Amino acid sequence: MRRKEIRVKTLALVAAVTSIGGFAVFTVFTRSGELVPRPAVLSGVLLVVMGGLVLWLARPVRHYLQGRATTSLDPLRAARTVVLAQAAALTGAAAAGWYAGQVAVVLTDLSLEANQARLLPLGALIVAGVALAAAGLVAQRWCRVDPPEEGDDQARDRAA
Protein backbone atom coordinates (compact mmCIF):
# COMPACT_ATOMS: atom_id res chain seq x y z
CA MET A 1 0.00 0.00 0.00
CA ARG A 2 1.34 3.41 -0.97
CA ARG A 3 1.42 6.12 1.69
CA LYS A 4 -0.65 9.20 1.01
CA GLU A 5 1.28 11.67 3.08
CA ILE A 6 2.57 15.09 2.20
CA ARG A 7 6.36 15.18 1.96
CA VAL A 8 8.81 18.04 2.33
CA LYS A 9 9.70 17.74 -1.36
CA THR A 10 6.06 18.38 -2.28
CA LEU A 11 5.93 21.40 0.01
CA ALA A 12 9.13 22.79 -1.52
CA LEU A 13 7.59 22.42 -4.98
CA VAL A 14 4.40 24.21 -3.89
CA ALA A 15 6.46 27.02 -2.34
CA ALA A 16 8.59 27.36 -5.47
CA VAL A 17 5.58 27.50 -7.80
CA THR A 18 3.74 30.07 -5.69
CA SER A 19 6.94 32.06 -5.31
CA ILE A 20 7.35 32.26 -9.07
CA GLY A 21 3.69 33.17 -9.41
CA GLY A 22 3.94 35.84 -6.73
CA PHE A 23 7.07 37.25 -8.31
CA ALA A 24 5.35 37.47 -11.70
CA VAL A 25 2.19 39.08 -10.30
CA PHE A 26 4.02 41.68 -8.24
CA THR A 27 6.53 42.44 -10.99
CA VAL A 28 3.65 43.38 -13.27
CA PHE A 29 2.03 45.27 -10.40
CA THR A 30 5.15 47.33 -9.61
CA ARG A 31 5.86 48.09 -13.27
CA SER A 32 2.65 50.10 -13.33
CA GLY A 33 4.17 52.42 -10.74
CA GLU A 34 2.69 50.84 -7.61
CA LEU A 35 4.55 49.46 -4.62
CA VAL A 36 4.25 45.97 -3.21
CA PRO A 37 1.39 46.30 -0.71
CA ARG A 38 2.35 46.68 2.94
CA PRO A 39 1.97 43.26 4.56
CA ALA A 40 -0.70 42.90 7.22
CA VAL A 41 0.41 41.76 10.66
CA LEU A 42 -2.86 39.89 11.02
CA SER A 43 -1.80 37.54 8.20
CA GLY A 44 1.16 36.29 10.19
CA VAL A 45 -0.89 35.98 13.36
CA LEU A 46 -3.51 33.91 11.54
CA LEU A 47 -0.88 31.58 10.06
CA VAL A 48 0.65 30.94 13.47
CA VAL A 49 -2.76 30.49 15.15
CA MET A 50 -3.80 27.99 12.45
CA GLY A 51 -0.61 26.03 13.08
CA GLY A 52 -1.34 25.93 16.78
CA LEU A 53 -4.92 24.79 16.17
CA VAL A 54 -3.78 21.99 13.87
CA LEU A 55 -1.38 20.70 16.52
CA TRP A 56 -4.03 21.04 19.22
CA LEU A 57 -6.53 19.04 17.17
CA ALA A 58 -3.96 16.34 16.37
CA ARG A 59 -2.98 15.86 20.03
CA PRO A 60 -5.90 13.54 20.93
CA VAL A 61 -5.11 11.32 17.94
CA ARG A 62 -1.48 11.15 19.05
CA HIS A 63 -2.47 10.25 22.60
CA TYR A 64 -4.80 7.54 21.34
CA LEU A 65 -2.16 6.02 19.09
CA GLN A 66 0.35 6.07 21.94
CA GLY A 67 -2.14 4.31 24.22
CA ARG A 68 -2.39 7.27 26.61
CA ALA A 69 -5.98 8.24 25.74
CA THR A 70 -8.65 7.98 28.40
CA THR A 71 -11.49 7.89 25.87
CA SER A 72 -12.09 6.21 22.54
CA LEU A 73 -11.37 7.96 19.27
CA ASP A 74 -13.74 8.18 16.34
CA PRO A 75 -11.87 6.98 13.22
CA LEU A 76 -13.60 9.64 11.12
CA ARG A 77 -12.26 12.34 13.43
CA ALA A 78 -8.76 10.93 13.07
CA ALA A 79 -9.07 10.87 9.28
CA ARG A 80 -10.34 14.45 9.24
CA THR A 81 -7.43 15.50 11.42
CA VAL A 82 -4.95 14.02 8.96
CA VAL A 83 -6.61 15.84 6.06
CA LEU A 84 -6.56 19.09 8.04
CA ALA A 85 -2.87 18.60 8.81
CA GLN A 86 -2.08 18.03 5.14
CA ALA A 87 -4.11 21.07 4.11
CA ALA A 88 -2.27 23.16 6.67
CA ALA A 89 1.10 21.98 5.38
CA LEU A 90 0.18 22.86 1.80
CA THR A 91 -1.31 26.21 2.83
CA GLY A 92 1.78 27.11 4.82
CA ALA A 93 4.06 26.25 1.91
CA ALA A 94 1.91 28.27 -0.50
CA ALA A 95 1.87 31.27 1.85
CA ALA A 96 5.63 31.13 2.36
CA GLY A 97 6.16 30.97 -1.40
CA TRP A 98 3.74 33.83 -2.05
CA TYR A 99 5.52 36.10 0.42
CA ALA A 100 8.92 34.98 -0.88
CA GLY A 101 7.86 36.12 -4.34
CA GLN A 102 7.01 39.51 -2.88
CA VAL A 103 10.38 39.68 -1.13
CA ALA A 104 12.10 38.94 -4.43
CA VAL A 105 10.29 41.87 -6.06
CA VAL A 106 11.11 44.17 -3.15
CA LEU A 107 14.78 43.16 -3.33
CA THR A 108 14.95 44.31 -6.95
CA ASP A 109 14.56 47.96 -5.83
CA LEU A 110 15.97 48.53 -2.38
CA SER A 111 16.72 52.18 -3.19
CA LEU A 112 13.15 52.94 -2.05
CA GLU A 113 12.79 53.32 1.71
CA ALA A 114 9.28 51.88 1.48
CA ASN A 115 10.70 48.67 0.07
CA GLN A 116 13.33 48.50 2.79
CA ALA A 117 10.58 48.82 5.40
CA ARG A 118 8.68 45.90 3.85
CA LEU A 119 11.54 43.40 4.07
CA LEU A 120 11.23 42.56 7.77
CA PRO A 121 7.41 42.10 7.82
CA LEU A 122 7.53 40.00 4.64
CA GLY A 123 10.34 37.91 6.13
CA ALA A 124 8.23 37.36 9.24
CA LEU A 125 5.32 36.22 7.07
CA ILE A 126 7.59 33.74 5.31
CA VAL A 127 8.60 32.34 8.70
CA ALA A 128 4.93 32.15 9.73
CA GLY A 129 4.10 30.24 6.54
CA VAL A 130 6.96 27.82 7.14
CA ALA A 131 5.76 27.39 10.73
CA LEU A 132 2.28 26.46 9.52
CA ALA A 133 3.74 23.98 7.04
CA ALA A 134 5.88 22.47 9.79
CA ALA A 135 2.90 22.22 12.13
CA GLY A 136 0.99 20.41 9.40
CA LEU A 137 3.82 17.95 8.88
CA VAL A 138 4.14 17.31 12.62
CA ALA A 139 0.38 16.79 13.01
CA GLN A 140 0.40 14.45 10.02
CA ARG A 141 3.19 12.46 11.64
CA TRP A 142 1.29 12.29 14.92
CA CYS A 143 -1.70 10.78 13.11
CA ARG A 144 0.22 8.18 11.15
CA VAL A 145 -0.45 4.52 11.86
CA ASP A 146 2.52 2.43 10.83
CA PRO A 147 1.72 -0.97 9.34
CA PRO A 148 2.45 -3.88 11.68
CA GLU A 149 5.81 -5.55 11.27
CA GLU A 150 5.93 -9.15 10.13
CA GLY A 151 7.12 -10.30 13.54
CA ASP A 152 4.04 -8.76 15.16
CA ASP A 153 1.69 -10.89 13.01
CA GLN A 154 3.55 -14.09 13.90
CA ALA A 155 3.53 -13.26 17.60
CA ARG A 156 -0.20 -12.54 17.49
CA ASP A 157 -0.87 -15.84 15.69
CA ARG A 158 1.08 -17.78 18.34
CA ALA A 159 -0.77 -16.03 21.16
CA ALA A 160 -4.19 -16.90 19.69
Select the more confidently predicted residue: 131 or 159.
131
CA–CA gap between residue 38 and residue 153 (Å, rounded): 58
pLDDT in tens, 85-132: 999 999 999 999 999 999 999 999 999 999 999 999 999 999 999 999
Q: Which of 29-33, 83-87, 136-140 has the lowest mean pLDDT?
A: 29-33
pLDDT in tens, 98-107: 999 999 999 9
CA–CA gap between residue 138 and residue 54 (Å, rounded): 9
Contact 23, 104 (CB under 8 A): yes
Contact 136, 55 (CB under 8 A): no
